[in-house]
Structure 1
Amino acid sequence: MKIRLIAVGDKPRSWVTEAFDDYARRLPRELSLDLVQIPTAKARTRASQGERALKAVDRQDWVVALDETGRSCDSAALAAKLDGWRNEGRTVALLVGGADGLDAKVLARANEVVALSNLTFPHELVRVIVAEQLYRAWTILSGHPYHRA
């Protein structure tokens, strides 16, 4: 199974890249997590950022928009989603907007809209949170002791 995190934003600081890569490396080979960067310099408006993000999405991808308007889920629910995505065998595209969020066209294309939290996070930090939560979801599914709820 392949998951692509499509994120609008400038080149992340080194600690963000290191943390994202650390969690991505912890995932098993059959569950790859890749970051697709949409630079803000080439897409200054939310609409142009959305267009560029959607160009990175393949037609058959299952698109999940990460947006504050979405439905919240806990780690167990995310694990259940991950299990369902894995069983369907599709590539999952997780879309993260820039500082101003996702364009309405992105939300309209999404198969589902998920809120990570009621809190507001810097979009750069969301990359790390998503990677960690995907790792946590995998550990729940595999019975690994990482998740101790």
Structure 2
Amino acid sequence: MKISLIAVGTRMPAWVQDGYQEYAKRLPKELTPELVELPLAVRSKSTNTQNAIASEGDNMLKHIGSNTRTIALDVLGKSFSTEVLSQKLADWQMDGRNVNILIGGPDGLDSRCLTQADEKWSLSALTLPHPLVRVLLIEQLYRAWTILQNHPYHK
């Protein structure tokens, strides 16, 4: 099983890159996600936000392979505890399919990405900046893995 984090945005601040790398390096090689960074569509006063979201969606959909499990991060998705995430991680490993986790840009995900997703996951009811989501997500994947390993990090 391979995990891919497919995220809109390519120029992240150093703290995002450092935070992401800190947790990514702690995961075992077979669980270290591939980070696929997609360019943010141009936004200005004269452009339509929906067109920008659709353009990002087109790009994102190109990176979703066949026979994969796709999870879209969305504020309206289901929220669950880290313990439940650890069980999901174990289930994903047993299932064997590759896993794509979709992280939208500042205006969210295109509706086609949400429709194609097998599951919609909400990290929080709060509005989170998409750079912070990367760090939060990789930390939670690491924490879920430590639960499965009975590692003391989660305690």
Could you tell me which residue of structure 2 aligns to residue 74 of structure 1? 81
Larger radius of gyration: 2
SS at match of 1:27: coil
| 1:30 to partner: Cα distance | 2.1
TM-score, length of structure 1 as denominator length: 0.95
Could you tell me which residue of structure 2 aligns to residue 17 of structure 1? 17
Over the matched positions of the two proteins, sequence identity in percent amounts to: 49
Matched residue count? 148
Bigger mean CA deviation after superposition, 101-110 or 7-16: 7-16
> Which one-letter code corresponds to 1:25 in the other structure?
K
Rounded Cα–Cα distance in structure 1 between residues aligned with 2:76 and 2:89:
21
**Please, which runs of 5 or more residues in structure 2 have no aligned partner?**
44-50
Native 8 Å contact 1:24 1:33 kept in 2: yes
TM-score, length of structure 2 as denominator length: 0.91
Rounded Cα–Cα distance in structure 2 between residues aligned with 1:41 and 1:63:
22
Superposition misfits of 4+ residues, deviation over 6 angstroms: none
SS at match of 2:11: coil
Rounded Cα–Cα distance in structure 1 between residues aligned with 2:113 and 2:123:
17
> Which one-letter code corresponds to 2:30 in the other structure?
E
Query: Cα RMSD (Å) of the superposition?
Result: 1.4
Rounded Cα–Cα distance in structure 1 between residues aligned with 2:111 and 2:40:
18
Structure (1/2) with the larger strand percentage = 1
Rounded Cα–Cα distance in structure 2 between residues aligned with 1:127 and 1:138:
17
> Which one-letter code corresponds to 2:130 in the other structure?
H
Native 8 Å contact 2:105 2:130 kept in 1: yes
Q: Is residue 2:55 matched to residue 1:48?
A: yes
Q: Which string of whole-angstrom CA distances, capped at 9 and with x for unpartnered residues, describes residues 13-71 of structure 1?
A: 11101111111110012212111001114797101111101111111221000000100
Alignment of 1:93-132 (within 5 A): 93-132=100-139
